[in-house]
Amino acid sequence: MFIYLDEAGNTGGVITVKRRKSGTSGKLNYTDQPLFVEAAVVVNEEDDKQLLLRKYSEFKRQFPDLLVNGELKGSSLCTRKNNRALEIFIKTLLDDKHYYINVYDKKFYLTTLILQEILQIDKSLFLPRFYEMAQALCEEDNAFFVEYCKTVEKPTINNVQHYFNFLISYNYENVFNKGLAQFVEKMNSHEDWEQFRHSLLSKEAYAHHNVSNLINLNCLAELLGFIKDKCNKRNCELSIEHDKIDGIQDVLTAELAEVGLSVSFCDSKNEELIQLADNVASVLFHFMSKVMSHLCSGTLWQGSSKWDTLIYSSLMNIIDRDRNHIKLTLNLNDEAVYRALSDMYQDRNDVETLTGIGAQLVLEELTNIYTFTELQNLAGHHLSTAEVLNKLRE
C-alpha cells in the first residue's frame, strides 16, 4: 500500500517558547489557526496510482493558471475566483476510497494532556466526566496553556513545583475548573512533583530530540494507525512518503522508526500525489475554519457563508460517506457541530430550505444527538505521544 501525506495548519510544537530567564512567557502558535489537518492519499496498487495520477494531471491541464512551476497548491483552490475549479476538483478527484484525514483541535489536545498528567488516572475509567472536564478547561486563556508547555519543555523539579503553584493560584475563568486547583493543592509535595516529572518524561518527551508537544507527530501517527486499522495492513506493508517539513522531519522519522514505520520525506514537486494530499488537507482545513468562524460570529446562515457550508459538507459527505475516512480529534461539542452540519447540507436544496432560526434549531438538535453518540465512543480520542506510538508498534 502506498501512502502520500501532507498537512495544513501551523506546524511544530503548540508553543513558541521563550526561556524563563528572558522574562517572557512564550506564545501559542494556534491563535489564528486552531486546527491542524493531516491528509493521506492512499493507493493499493500501481495501476490504481496511475489512474489517480492521470485524473489529477488532467485537472491541472484544465486549470493551468492555478499552477506555480507546475505545482498546484491547495490554497489556490480556496479563493473565490477559483470556485469553479474547486467544484470540479471535488467532483472529479475526491471519493471515499483514496483519502484518509485526521483533524486536530490544538487547544483541546493540550487540555487532555494536562488532565491526564495531573490526575494520573486511567481516563478510560471515567471517560464522559474526563471530557466534560477537558471541555471546561478549554475556556481558560492562553497563559494557562503556555505555562504547561514551558514545564514540559524543561521538566525540572523546580519548574514542576512552579507549575503546581501556578495551578493552585491561577484565576480560573470557569468556576468548574477551580476543582483542579483544589486537587493539585492536596498533592503538592516533593513526591507528587517527582511523579509528575517522571510522567512528562515518559509520555511527552521524544527519544532522539529535545522537542516537546509536537502535534505533527501525534496527528500523523494517529492517522497512520487509523489507516492500518481500516485497511487491515501491517507496518511492513506500507510505503509512506510525506512532504518535507523543515526543522522537524528528522524527529518524526526517528520516532516512527522506533515503532517499525519507515517514512520518507521529499519535496512535493517531485511527487504529484503529495501535491494532491496538500490540496485535500488545505481545502478541508480552510472550509472547516470558515464554517466555525461563521458559526461563532452568528453569520452561518447568511449570504456567502452558505457556499462555505455547502463545500464543507460536500467534502465530508464524499470522502467520509461511511464515517471511516475522516477522524475528527476535536472537543466533543465542535465535533458534534461539524458532523451535524455535514448532515444538514447533503443536498444543495437544503441550503435554501434550512435558513435562519429553523436551521439553528435543526443544528442544535443534531448537535445534541451527536454529542450523546460521541460520549459512547471516546476510547481512541486524544492520546499522549507514548500512547499513539505504542498503538503503532507491532
Condensed to tens digits (0 to 9), the pLDDT of residues 285-339 reads 999 999 999 998 988 888 778 889 889 999 999 999 988 999 998 888 899 999 9
Rounded to the nearest 10 degrees, the angle between the axes of helix 157-169 and helix 178-186 is: 140
**pTM of the full structure:** 0.89
Point out the least confidently predicted range of 124-138, 274-288, 315-329: 124-138
Point out the least confidently predicted range of 7-11, 44-48, 305-309: 7-11
The range of the structural domain enclosing residue 300 comes to 1-394
Q: What is the mean pLDDT of the chain?
A: 86
Instruction: Confirm if 210 and 219 have CB atoms less than 8 A apart.
Output: no
Point out the least confidently predicted range of 4-8, 315-319, 362-366: 362-366
Q: What is the pLDDT of residue 353?
A: 65
Domain count, the chain: 1
8 pLDDT above the threshold of 50:
yes
Q: What is the tens place of the pLDDT at every residue in 149-202?
A: 888 888 899 999 999 999 999 999 999 999 999 999 998 898 989 988 888 776
Separation of alpha carbons 231 and 42, rounded Å: 10
Residue in this structure with the C-alpha cell 501525534, named with its chain if needed: 218
Name the burial class of residue 327, with classes exposed (0-12), middle (13-18) and buried (19+) by CB atoms within 10 angstroms of its CB.
Answer: buried
